[in-house]
Amino acid sequence: MCYPFFVMKRPAKPSAKGEADRIKEALRAEVESKGVSLRELGAKTERSDGYWSQVFNGLVVFTVEHLFTALLAVGSEPSDFFRRYFNLPETTSRADGDPIEAAVIRTLKRYGFSPPEEVDSRK
């Protein structure tokens, strides 16, 4: 007797290359949304005219340095870029809205260190 069985494939895990390509495309959109051409981006970053075209078309390996260089050159705050990319809610105040920063501040206080704004207010 033969029993039919089904082999279920696991859902594909996101690959690092795929995620990097999506971030690269989001960066390209960010540059375009700021009204900066690739030629202007090259001038702002002291690169040749075709350099950023090569980066965005995969002829030059895309790095974190490319990401931050381009964001800062077009006047975008990296934290805002990533907040939009990951669709995270905007926070009104860093200390009140950023759980990581709040945890760091609590830890510093526990070990006797005061954040800079608290030190300044004591003077």
**Residues 41 and 64 occupy one common structural domain:** yes
pLDDT at residue 121 tops 80? no
Calculate mean pLDDT across residues 89-108.
Answer: 68
Q: How many structural domains compose the chain?
A: 2
Question: 91, 98 in Cβ contact below 8 A?
Answer: yes
Q: Which domain holds residue 123?
A: 91-123
79 contacts 47 by C-beta, under 8 angstroms: no
pLDDT in tens, 2-16: 545 444 455 556 688
Token readout for 120 is: 């300044």
CA distance 85 to 66: 16
Nearest-10 Cα torsion for 119, 121, 122, 123: 100
Shared-domain flag, residues 24 and 81: yes
- Provide mean pLDDT across the span 80-107: 75
Residue 64 has which token pair? 């974190």
**Summary mean pLDDT of the chain:** 81
Q: Could you read off the pLDDT of 26-58 as tens digits, one per residue? A: 999 999 999 999 999 999 999 998 999 999 999
Classify residue 31: in a domain, yes or no.
Answer: yes
The CATH number linked to 23 is 1.10.260.40
- Do 83 and 104 belong together in one domain? no
Query: 22 with 82, same domain?
Result: yes
Residue 2 in domain: no
Residue 96 pLDDT level (bands cut at 50, 70, 90): low
Does the pLDDT of residue 120 top 50, yes or no?
no
CA distance 1 to 12: 34
Is 53 part of any domain?
yes
Name the residue with higher pLDDT: 81 or 113: 81
The pLDDT of 87-92, averaged and rounded, is: 74
Does residue 20 sit in the same domain as residue 68?
A: yes
pLDDT band at 122 (very low <50, low <70, confident <90, very high): very low
Q: Are 105 and 115 in contact (CB under 8 A)?
A: yes
CA dihedral (31, 34, 37, 43) positive or negative: negative
